[in-house]
C-alpha cells in the first residue's frame, strides 16, 4: 500500500514539474536575453542605445541607437492594426450575427487557413505580387515600404482579431439582445448599439493580441519593408523593424561582440513590448471569463 502511495506521489511530482516547464522556459528566455546583452552596459555603455542612428558596421564609429528600429516597428504595427481592425471586427460581427450556419461553416475554417500560411510564404507573395502593386498604385520608386509590410501583416492579424472578437460577441448574454429587440430596435441597431458595445473589452483585447502578433512578426517584414534603418513616420518610405534587424544581422556578427549584444537589447525591447500587450489583453479576457482561471 505504501509503495502505491509513493508511486502516486512520484507521478504527481513528475507531472507537476512538466506543468511548471512553461514557467521555467519564460524565465530562461528573460535570463538569456539579459545574460547575452548585459556586458553592453559596461562597454560601450547603455547610453549608446538611446540614439537616433543604427549603424552597427562602420569603419569610423559604430552606432547602436535603437530609435529608428523602434519607430520602424511602431509605424508598421500601427498601420497594420488600422488596416486590420475594420476587417477583423466587421468580419467577426458578420460571422457571428449575420451569416447563415452554412456560411459560417465555410468562412471560419477558410479564414483560419490565413493563420496557417507560413510567414515566409506570405513575405514571398508580398515581394512578388503586393510590392509591385503598391509601387504602381502610388507611383513610388520602390514597392518595398512600410505600407507593403503593413498590408501583409494586417492579414496576419485578421484571423486573431476575428476569432477572439467572435468569442467575445458570442459571450454577450442573449437577454441583452432580446431586450433590445423587444424594445423595437432592429437587428442591425441591436448588433451595433447593444451587442458590440457589450463585447467591446473582448474586442479591444483581440486587437491587442493581433498587435502583439504583428510587432513580433519577422520574415514577412524583413522581405518587404526595404530594411532602411531611418526614423520616419511616412508609410511610403522603407523602414527596418526590430525583428528584421535581429534576423538579418545576427548571422554576420561575432558572438560576444558589441553588435551581438546590441541585437540582444533589441530582443529585450521587443520582448517587453509584446509581453505588455499580451499581459493587458490576458487580464481583460480573464476578467470577462473568456480564459480559464
Partner 1 sequence: MNSKRTGEKVIYWVMRGITYLVVVFIAYILIDILVHGLPAISWEFITGDPEKSGAEGGIFPAILGTLFLVIGTIVVALPLGMFSAVYLTEYAKQSKFTQTIRMAIVTLAGVPSIVFGLFGLGLFVVALDFGASILAGSLTLACMILPTIIVASEEALKSVPKYMREGSLALGATKWETIYKNVLPYALPGMLTGAILGIGRAAGETAPILLTAAAFFLPELPSSVYDQVMALPYHLYILATQHPEAQKILPMQYGTALVLLFLVIGLNFVAIILRIKVRKKYKW
User: Per CB under 8 A, which of residues 195..214 are in contact with partner 1?
Assistant: 209, 212-213
Please identify which residue in 8, 57, 82, 179 interacts with partner 1, judged by CB under 8 A. Answer: 8
How far CA 87 is from CA of 22, 95, 249, 252, in Å, comes to: 33, 12, 34, 39
275 binds partner 1 (CB under 8 A): yes
Provide, rounded to whole angstroms, the least separation between the CB of residue 61 and partner 1.
25
Total residues binding partner 1 (CB under 8 A): 86
Site stretch for partner 1 (CB under 8 A), options 27-35, 74-82, 198-206, 231-239? 27-35
Provide, rounded to whole angstroms, the least separation between the CB of residue 60 and partner 1.
27
Site stretch for partner 1 (CB under 8 A), options 42-50, 59-67, 232-240, 263-271? 263-271
CB 87 within 8 A of CB 96: no
Provide, rounded to whole angstroms, the least separation between the CB of residue 37 and partner 1.
9
223 binds partner 1 (CB under 8 A): yes
Q: State which residue, 35 or 57, has the beta carbon closest to partner 1.
A: 35
Q: 186's torsion region: left (phi>0), alpha (psi -120 to 50) or beta? A: beta
233 binds partner 1 (CB under 8 A): no
Per-residue b/e over 59-87, b at no fewer than 16 CB within 10 Å? eeebbbbbebbbbbbbbbbbbbbebbbeb
Please identify which residue in 55, 142, 201, 278 interacts with partner 1, judged by CB under 8 A. Answer: 278
Report d(CA 80, CA 121) in Å as an integer: 18
Q: State which residue, 56 or 216, has the beta carbon closest to partner 1.
A: 216
253 binds partner 1 (CB under 8 A): no
CB 140 within 8 A of CB 238: no
Report d(CA 230, CA 218) in Å as an integer: 18
Residues 89-118 that bind partner 1 (CB under 8 A): 90-91, 93-95, 98-99, 107, 109-114, 116-118
Q: State which residue, 12 or 45, has the beta carbon closest to partner 1.
A: 12
Provide, rounded to whole angstroms, the least separation between the CB of residue 152 and partner 1.
10
Residue 250: CB atoms within 10 Å: 15
The 3 state secondary structure assigned to 140-192 is: CCCCCCHHHHHHHHHHHHHHHHHHHHHHHHHCCCHHHHHHHHHCCCCHHHHHH
Q: State which residue, 200 or 272, has the beta carbon closest to partner 1.
A: 272
Amino acid at each position: 500500500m505504501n509503495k502505491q502511495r509513493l508511486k502516486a506521489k512520484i507521478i504527481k511530482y513528475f507531472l507537476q514539474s512538466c506543468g511548471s516547464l512553461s514557467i521555467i522556459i519564460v524565465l530562461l528566455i528573460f535570463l538569456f536575453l539579459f545574460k547575452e546583452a548585459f556586458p553592453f552596459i559596461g562597454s560601450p555603455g547603455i547610453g549608446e542605445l538611446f540614439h537616433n542612428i543604427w549603424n552597427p558596421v562602420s569603419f569610423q564609429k559604430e552606432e547602436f541607437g535603437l530609435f529608428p528600429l523602434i519607430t520602424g516597428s511602431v509605424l508598421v504595427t500601427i498601420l497594420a492594426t488600422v488596416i486590420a481592425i475594420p476587417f477583423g471586427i466587421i468580419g467577426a460581427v458578420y460571422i457571428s450575427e449575420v451569416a447563415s450556419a452554412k456560411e459560417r461553416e465555410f468562412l471560419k475554417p477558410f479564414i483560419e487557413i490565413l493563420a496557417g500560411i507560413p510567414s515566409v510564404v506570405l513575405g514571398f507573395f508580398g515581394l512578388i505580387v503586393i510590392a509591385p502593386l503598391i509601387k504602381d498604385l502610388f507611383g513610388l520608386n520602390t514597392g518595398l515600404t512600410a505600407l507593403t509590410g503593413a498590408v501583409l501583416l494586417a492579414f496576419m492579424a485578421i484571423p486573431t482579431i476575428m476569432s477572439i472578437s467572435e468569442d467575445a460577441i458570442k459571450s454577450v448574454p442573449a437577454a441583452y439582445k432580446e431586450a433590445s429587440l423587444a424594445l423595437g430596435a432592429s437587428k442591425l441597431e441591436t448588433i451595433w448599439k447593444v451587442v458590440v458595445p457589450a463585447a467591446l473589452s473582448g474586442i479591444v483585447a483581440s486587437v491587442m493580441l493581433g498587435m502583439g502578433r504583428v510587432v513580433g512578426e519577422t520574415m514577412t517584414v524583413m522581405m518587404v519593408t526595404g530594411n532602411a534603418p531611418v526614423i520616419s513616420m511616412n508609410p511610403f518610405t522603407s523602414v527596418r523593424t526590430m525583428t528584421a534587424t535581429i534576423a538579418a544581422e545576427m548571422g554576420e556578427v561575432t558572438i560576444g561582440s558589441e553588435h551581438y549584444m546590441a541585437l540582444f537589447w533589441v530582443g529585450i525591447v521587443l520582448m517587453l513590448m509584446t509581453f505588455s500587450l499580451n499581459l493587458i489583453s490576458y487580464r481583460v479576457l480573464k476578467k470577462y471569463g473568456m480564459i480559464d482561471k
